Amino acid sequence: MYFIAKTADNIESNDLVSGFADILKRFGPSQVRALVANVPVDLPFDPDAYFGSSAGRPRFDLVLAIHLYDKAGVSFLRTVQKAFEETYASHINLGSSWIAFGQRALVFDQDQGIQFDPGRQPYIFGN
């Protein structure tokens, strides 16, 4: 997940998405399974839990979900991130933008006959 805060409204979020996708293509997107762009829209509820929260905290204008095939894609993505931030440095608040890496887990796979097993589930220590 790449959380991006703009410096001002001097560029559209769609232009940043296109710019990121173009840079991704330039480096060869073979490590990327999918790129999903999330931007704030007018909603019947307050989206601050996702795009920003209490006063003084950054408000994100764009959240990119970049799905990699495997861990080998992390260094590739860091190269793309660096090129993107250099290209769009005047439009991005680099001090408030950040990227986080996580790994999804397969809980069960119906196609392969792997059933849910509560014994394999994570738990919170101390509870």
* pLDDT at residue 127 greater than cutoff 90: no
Helix extents (H) in the chain:
13-26, 48-51, 73-87
- What does the pLDDT average to over 41-66? 70
Q: Where are the domains of the chain?
A: 2-120
Q: Contact 65/35 with Cβ under 8 angstroms?
A: yes
Confidence of residue 122 (pLDDT cuts 50, 70, 90): low
Q: In the predicted model, what is the mean pLDDT of the chain? A: 82
pTM for this entry: 0.73
**Which residues touch 79 (CB under 8 Å, ≥6 apart)?**
27
Q: Contact 123/55 with Cβ under 8 angstroms?
A: no
Q: Contact 19/81 with Cβ under 8 angstroms?
A: no
For the domain spanning 2-120, the CATH number is: 3.30.70.100
